Amino acid sequence: MNFMQVPTVTVESLPADGLLLDVRESEEWAAGRAEEALHIPMGEVVQRLGEITERADGGRVHVICKVGGRSAQVTAYLVQQGVDAVNVDGGMLAWADAGRAMQGDHEQPFVL
């Protein structure tokens, strides 16, 4: 599947109760993240696919990274595996710009 053809949604259209899969590295996750996100770094997605499908429980998986490149690749992979997955356009930078709640391991969460 071509990287540019993956299904995409905007941060503003994300459902409050949807599964958000953050595929950034651990140091990015620690700096700032969406409160309810499931963290599985991109390099672990293939071996942890069962965990993703279990959490999705047949629902849609919203995949996010910093800007949208890595999450688009993961979305393409998940779709190939039969998972209803969409890429979050603009990633965590768009999340932060939209004023969505974030938490982190520092006093002031930020997108790394």
Q: What is the pLDDT of residue 76?
A: 97
Q: How far apart are CA 8 and CA 55, in angstroms?
A: 20
Q: What is the pLDDT of residue 71?
A: 98
Q: What is the pLDDT of residue 20?
A: 97
What digits encode the pLDDT tens for the residues 45-93? 999 999 999 999 999 999 999 999 999 999 999 999 999 999 999 999 9
pTM of the predicted model over 0.85: yes
Residue 37, classified by CB atoms within 10 Å of its CB into exposed (0-12), middle (13-18) or buried (19+), is buried
Residue 40 pLDDT > 50, yes or no? yes
Q: With CA atoms as reference, report the closest residue to 9 among 95, 82, 96, 112.
A: 95
Enclosing H/E stretch for 30 = helix 26-31
Q: Once rounded to an integer, what is the mean pLDDT over residues 21-46?
A: 97
Place of tokens 């993961």: 74
Mean of all residue pLDDT scores within the chain = 94
Q: How far apart are CA 61 and CA 70, in angstroms?
A: 15
Cα-Cα-Cα-Cα dihedral sign, residues 55, 48, 78, 35: positive
Q: What is the pLDDT of residue 2?
A: 46
